[in-house]
Amino acid sequence: MSYRVVRRWREVIIVGEKVHYVGGNLARAWTEALSALGLEGRFWQRVLLIGMGASLIQLIARRAFSQPEVVVVEIDPEMVRLQEAIFDIPLPYTVHIGDAADILPSLSGRFDGIFVDAFIEDRVPESLLSKSFVEALYAHLDLKGMLLWNTLLKPQADEVGKLLMERFAEVRRWRYDAHTFWAAAFGKDCFLTPF
């Protein structure tokens, strides 16, 4: 995968052929999603990111009352290297390099926030679009936690929604520009705002 670093005004953006991987539109989409979901000021203890996102870590740090433990699963070591070189990452984090479908079952413990933001250009990797991956997400989500999954392509957004609805008691969808965000939880009380 090849990436370019683009500087626009005060923004630094890592881009591929079809998508901004970090910063720019992606950062704005996550900002709007976290706001719409009422996740500002949430007390995060453990956060799991599927796909390294420095801008997402920055948003979590700005909106959290606590300093959560952050675990990142990223398939591409070059993406990790670029983000660590370019961005201020305000929270301590641990990175596991490899396919999340393979790594997730070996992680220990539960997370009160799981963010799936993994793309190969504009597509969610096929290995993540499976019942076994969603089952692993389910097994690692805290009972009061929330899973957020970002998609760009409508057929994949529909597929993610179907997979989540088959496993989680509460699933909601929210759109921003080209992004479809899915939120999943064990109960309605995990959602702080209706949407």
pLDDT in tens, 7-57: 767 777 666 665 555 556 777 888 888 888 777 767 788 999 999 888 888
pLDDT of residue 14: 66
The residues pairing with 156 across neighbouring beta strands, listed in sequence order, are: none
> Residues 111, 140: contact at Cβ < 8 Å?
yes
Q: Which pLDDT band holds residue 135 (cuts at 50, 70, 90)?
A: very high
- Which residue in this structure is represented by tokens 């591929």? 16
For 164, what's the count of Cα atoms within 13 Å in the CB-facing half-sphere? Answer: 25
Q: Delimit the domains of the chain by residue range.
A: 24-190
**pTM for this one?**
0.88
The CATH homologous superfamily to which domain 24-190 belongs is: Vaccinia Virus protein VP39 (3.40.50.150)
Decide which of 121 and 194 is more confident: 121
Element at 99 (helix H, strand E)? none
The candidate with the shortest Cα–Cα distance to 11, out of 19, 2, 3, 20, is 20
Q: Which pLDDT band holds residue 91 (cuts at 50, 70, 90)?
A: confident
The candidate with the shortest Cα–Cα distance to 16, out of 24, 177, 156, 71, is 24
Burial of 115 from C-beta contacts in 10 A (0-12 / 13-18 / 19+): buried
